[in-house]
Amino acid sequence: MNYTVNQIANITNATVIGDGNLMIKNIAFDSRIIYSTKNTAFIAINTSKNSGEKFIEAAIDRGITIVISEHHFPQFENITWIIVENSVEFLQKLSKYHFENSHLKSIGITGSNGKTILKEWLYQCLWNEFPTVKSPKSFNSQIGLPLSLLQINEAHKLGIFEVGISKPNEMEKLETIFQPQIGLLTHIGTAHLANFESEENLIDEKIKLFKDSEVIIYNGDNILVHKKINDLYSSKKLISYGFKNTNEVYFKNNISKDENVIVKYFDEEISFPVHQKDEATLTNALALVTVLKELDIKNEKIIEKINALKAVEMRLEAIEGQKNNIVINDSFNLDLDSLKTALQFLNEYKKSKRSLVLTDIVGVNSNSKELYEEVSELVNEQNFDSVFLIGDEISKFNALFKAKTHTFIHTQELIDSKYLTEIENQIILLKGARKFEIEKLKDLLELRKHDTVLEINLNALLHNINYHKSLLKPATKMMAMVKANSYGLGSYEISEFLQHHHIDYLGVAFVDEGVELRKKGITVPIIVMNPEQHSYETVIEYNLEPEIYSFRVLELFYQAVQKSGYDKKYPIHIKLETGMHRLGFKDFELDQLSEILSNKNLKVQSIFSHLSSADIPNEKEFTLNQLKTFEKNSSYLIEKLGYSPLRHILNSSGITSYTDHQYDMVRIGIGMLGESPNKEVQKQLHSVVSFKTVISQISLVEDGESVGYSRRFKADHPTKIATIPVGYADGIPRSIGNQIGNVGVNKTFAPIVGSICMDMMMINIDHIPNVKEGDTVTVFNAKPSLKEFAEYCKTITYEVLTSISPRVKRIYVKD
């Protein structure tokens, strides 16, 4: 992309206010993750749920001087404006023009699963055959696809783009801006099926993308897909792939027994080794071969490229480091796109000091000087304190980097230098190509070395929050409960992420939890649900907002406010008793309460209550009575106060089951972690937490021999037993030993045998093939799920999560 402001305005019928000769090479859509302001315009995207115009000021504060917006805000001086009628349509119109004038060969990938994997595999295979551009990350939506297309430049000869939809009529819009010459349809699954009347409707919508394609490659194992494509596009070149030998491309041999697979491609045969033989990997391999053949790649090269494929790691990890550092580990791959993604992630953290480890960029057809000039520009804008360069190539350009820069040929040289171990109170980004093995630096810097980890997927957490928000009115606020160390996930890390994504309130149980967040830079309002009387001075000192549930608490807190000399009305939150009989003011106390409040220097920020049984369908009548009581009593109190505080009563289950009672704010807790008692809602949520460990040792226990303390398991035949380094000190209750609970090994349940020890336990793997020491064991995530694990423990998911020991390493992942 390389247009002047005036050119863009002419292409899109927009209006310019300011300097029309300014050049735009990049468009940023999120003020929080702007990593470069040079030749960058900020677009304020307005949707039915949010207005990007709220963040124009934040973008300007970061240095943006060109803004694309539906409205002009003259209070911001020295800004060039591109005024558009509709921000999303503007993006689509500009990208359509850009794509149509690019003259490159294009591949469009759609489907339910496998889009990103296939895009990355194709890029790995084709970048050195053609100058290639691809969608960054999973940019495939109404906004993501246009932003991807705008990355095309004059040098590119091939473009590989994902196209995703979640609702009817979305593909029609995307097809008008992007018409791929080669259309690739991956597996059709259940993702987004709930938004369509049937699988048939979903398929109809997906294949609209191929209306103008010359070639369509599709998974022919799905009979409905095969019929639809052949009925609609019989005049085009159609190639089906799949396990059935009725496809043009399929496996000829017995893939489960043979070391190599033999792909039958029409009349040709191509043989190559496949290490992972799960259905998804094999299906993607067939699609990959088919596209490569269509691009006239020779069989020998296809085999060579498949053998060189690297695992697609679409994740960044944030780990607690030594000396109060945070380590962001992105040592999985390195190109310009993934560097930009890592720099965006870096900007989600508030630590002022930061360091970067960066290696050579391997496998990019580009002029080295131009490449590293662009890299250094991106890096310099982040104001790193120190930059550590690893590799022959990048070290030649060390003078381009403004920070204090050190160069090394190999990773081990950096380790030996001891520079990294001297860093304190910083965020350290590790960004490198696989061959440099900079994951060794993660091992050096991390605080906890325990093989047992709790992995928290931040993107999944955000998805779950957004799902619940989709049920609400745009103006309804949301409070996230981060008490009890964010249900065991990490109070600061989760709060920092939520603050970055504009959560309205945070809720903690005790003052100490709120103080910790304030000390680490959390600035959003924090409600303390149980402020103990000795902590009121601390509440005021750290600008926390207390729940007031009785006259005694009200009087004591007011005395603390007077003593502090606070000269404004201090915000408090009034809890009403509506039937749970835990805490709160009762209806007969409201007159006295309103009278006392009218004479005190306090402001009621919100009035709220708590539903005891919103997750139990059989208690609907009781819940409706609670809601009725809350409506009556809160309305009465508001009338007496003479102003309208926020009202909130819905928890996670309430949001999904009693949406009509959302009032001004809702509170989300376990729902953001992907748990719901409603089966239909559960299908829409993503799993956030994975509890994992590894196999320490595998032993053969002979017939009659016993395992563990008290000899509670005795083998009745020679049995393979694995020991794993997790026990009751990590949060695994002893009650689920002796074959009550299971863990997951190779997607198979492995029963826990014998007594659970403090630091380890034993599992039966006799029925699971190909297990070896060092393999991953899932305590809970998918198999078993968190809910299943809680059932083993005869408790609820909250207790399971909050019981996980602090010694278990927390890893924060963004896919």
Residues that are catalytic? 483, 709
Quote the CA–CA distance of 235 and 661 in Å, as a whole number.
54
Helices (H) and strands (E) in the chain, counts: 27, 41
- Residues 699, 703, 709, 713, CA torsion sign: positive
Compute the radius of gyration of the chain from its Cα atoms: 29
Burial class (CB in 10 A: 0-12, 13-18, 19+), 567: exposed
* Whole-angstrom distance, CA of residue 430 vs CA of residue 74: 42
Type of residue numbered 771:
V
How far is residue 812's CA from residue 689's CA, in Å, rounded to a whole number?
A: 10
Q: Residues 6 or more apart from 421 whose CB is under 8 A from it?
A: 322, 444, 445
Residues 6+ apart with CB under 8 A from 747: 782, 783
Closest C-alpha to 527, from 456, 604, 474 = 604
Q: Return the number of other C-beta atoms located less than 10 Å from residue 681's C-beta.
A: 20
The angle at the Cα of 618, spanning 615 to 622, to the nearest 5 degrees, equals: 80
- 391: Cβ–Cβ under 8 A, 6 or more apart, which residues? 359, 360, 409, 436
Going edge to edge, which strands form the sheet with 26-28?
Answer: 15-17, 80-83, 66-69, 40-43, 26-28
Q: Which two tokens stand for residue 455?
A: 């992995």
User: Could you tell me if 202 and 167 are in contact, meaning their C-beta atoms sit under 8 angstroms apart?
Assistant: no
In degrees rounded to 5, what are phi and psi of residue 319? -130, 145
Distance, in Å, from the CA atom of 716 to the CA atom of 235, rounded to the nearest integer, reads 65
Residue 149: how many other CB atoms lie within 10 Å: 27
Residue type, 429: L
For the record, the structure tokens of 35 come out as 């990593």
Q: Write the CA distances from 561 to 508, 514, 529, 536, 541, integer angstroms.
A: 20, 18, 18, 8, 10
| Alpha carbons 661 and 654: distance in angstroms, whole number | 8
Closest by Cα among 162, 157, 160 to 143 = 162
- Residue for token pair 């020890």: 757
Residue type, 552: R
Total residues belonging to the chain? 815
Residue 656: C-alpha distances to residues 535, 662, 726, 749 (Å): 35, 10, 36, 32
Structural tokens at position 622? 């009781």
